[in-house]
A and B are shown apart, each in its own frame.
Chain A
Amino acid sequence: MSDRLDPTAIRARVLDELARVVPELEPDTLPGNRPIRDELDVDSMDLLNFVIGLSKAFGLDIPEADYKRIATVDALVEYIDRRLR
């Protein structure tokens, strides 16, 4: 990523990637502070595909050890924002 993305742009992109694994996603109704896996019935395969999508979209390698820090959309946006700095 050459130009810095602001948190709003990061969130929009995160939700785009999430919609790829959860096609019925309605972003407006997804609480940002609730665990994504519980809210959207995401299994481990979906999660991996989501992380693969995020890695490509943001040009980041997201290690498995960080998964627990990115359980909600809010936490994920913050995490990506920090990693991109």
Chain B
Amino acid sequence: MQPFRMPKLGADMTEGRLLQWLKHPGDRVARGEVIALVETDKANVDVESFVDGVLSEVVVEPSDQWLPVGTTLAMISTSEHASAAPVQATAAPLQTTPTPQAVTTAPLAPPPAVEAAPAQLEAARLVISPAARHRAQSLGLDASRLRGSGPGGRVTLRDIDANLAAMQVAPSALTKQPAQSPSAAPPPTPALLPATDKRQRMRDAIAAAMTRSKREIPHYYLATSIDLGRALQWLAEVNAQRGVADRLIAGVLLIKAVALALRSVPELNGFFLDGRAQPSSEIHVGTAISLRGGGLVAPALLDTDRRSLSELMHDYQDLVQRARAGSLRSAEMMKPTITVTSLGDRGVDTVFGVIYPPQVALLGFGRPLDRPWIHDGQIVARPIVHATLSADHRASDGHRGGLLLDAIDHLLQEPDKL
């Protein structure tokens, strides 16, 4: 039996409203399947199950009430094997969070009592056999807190199996959440907040996250000018061959270049949590999307580095549309490992970004503008974009940040390889 809790859908979320159950007691739920709709300050979010099982009990009915992150909303019974097994007192408390290698549709963990990364990160020092990693992954478990019995503390298949029972039991800290009284009469489906309240709540959420960022994160800033001539030329040629519905926009090239460049500078991709940098092996670029009427969200384009430009374009269009309609998925809110903000459409030359905690970097792009440039020994007009990096000095140094910007530049000079 596992509690299904109010998830923490981003650093700035402290509470949410349960709007609707999409599954009912007795329904089978698959890992990654949407089971509830939750309203946050920024969007209505489809929340996915983090385990396979059966929704055995609904603890909280949809209501107007704002519930703290971590509140138990329902109980999900998992395999008999797991629920019948005793808790092993010696095992470290583990979070049933997908490991970084989890696939795109990886479902979300119940939020831990302490703040965790949007996606639980593999500990940098974690040593684990591939088979054990695979087993842990397939079970939706986070093996990073296991003490391995193999050489050098390596986590083996046997360790996973031996600790399976303990791992599937939520940490005790999480089970002490006061449950809502199930006897209370379920109120009718809650009404959505008036637009003005929503705007204020979003302002408050942004204020909290950005204040925390400026208070806690020692930012350093780097900037470079990138010649987009080849990329824009290539884009125009590609788009001329495509129907309007299949065209790409320049922003997608920039996002893909950032994602690929991060592979070579991994310390700028991930989180700073529990007093240390925790790079992510997955790359989920959060894209800052401004909302009409004010505010912004920065949901992830999942597995950005592994998607083709056409796939990314499709994902991006869908994401922008849903973000503006206020309808996002929990994975998109929880997983961004870096944020890209492109303000060129607003006529801005240069962005000086504020990092979205607990991420450790933010890439900003201004407006590509024809400027005098030395190209093949001649002064010519080329479309130049200012790329800026805001990065967390606790996680990386300027030299590495510079390498990232340089890698982005190089990638954009060969747009056909993006």
Given contacts A24-B292, A65-B240, contact A45 B251 (CB under 8 A): yes
B244 touches A44 (CB 8 A): no
Whether the Cβ atoms of A22 and B317 lie closer than 8 Å is no
- B interface majority secondary structure: helix
Any B CB within 8 A of the CB of A52: yes
Q: B292, A45: Cβ atoms under 8 Å?
A: no
A22 CA / B292 CA spacing, docked (Å) = 8
Query: Residues of B contacting A51 with CB < 8 Å?
Result: 244
Count, chain A residues at interface, CB 8 A: 18
Which among B247, B292, B317, B321 is the interface contact of A64 at CB below 8 angstroms?
Answer: B247
Question: Could you tell me if B345 and A55 are in contact, using CB atoms closer than 8 angstroms?
Answer: no
Tell me if B251 and A48 are in contact (CB < 8 A). no
CA distance A3 to B320 in the complex (A): 35
Shortest C-beta distance, B236 to chain A (Å), equals 7
Complex Cα gap A69–B320 (Å): 26
Partner among B245, B290, B293, B320 whose Cβ is within 8 Å of the Cβ of A52: B245
Min CB gap B29→A, angstroms: 34
Residues of B within 8 A of A24 (CB): 292-293
Give the residues in chain A near B317, CB-CB below 8 Å.
Answer: 45, 48-49
Task: Tell me the bound Cα distance from A41 to B292 in angstroms.
Answer: 9
Closest to B250 in A: A44
Instruction: Note all chain B residues with C-beta closer than 8 A to A37.
Output: 345
A44 to B343, CA, bound (A): 11
Interface: B243 (CB within 8 A): yes
Asked if B316 and A63 make an inter-chain contact with CB atoms under 8 angstroms apart, the answer reads no
Q: B319's closest neighbor in chain A, by CB?
A: A45
Q: Which of A23, A45, A52, A63 contacts B240 (CB 8 A)?
A: A63
B299 smallest CB distance to A (angstroms): 14
B249 touches A48 (CB 8 A): yes
Residues of B within 8 A of A (CB): 236, 239-240, 243-245, 247, 249-251, 290, 292-293, 316-317, 320-321, 345-346
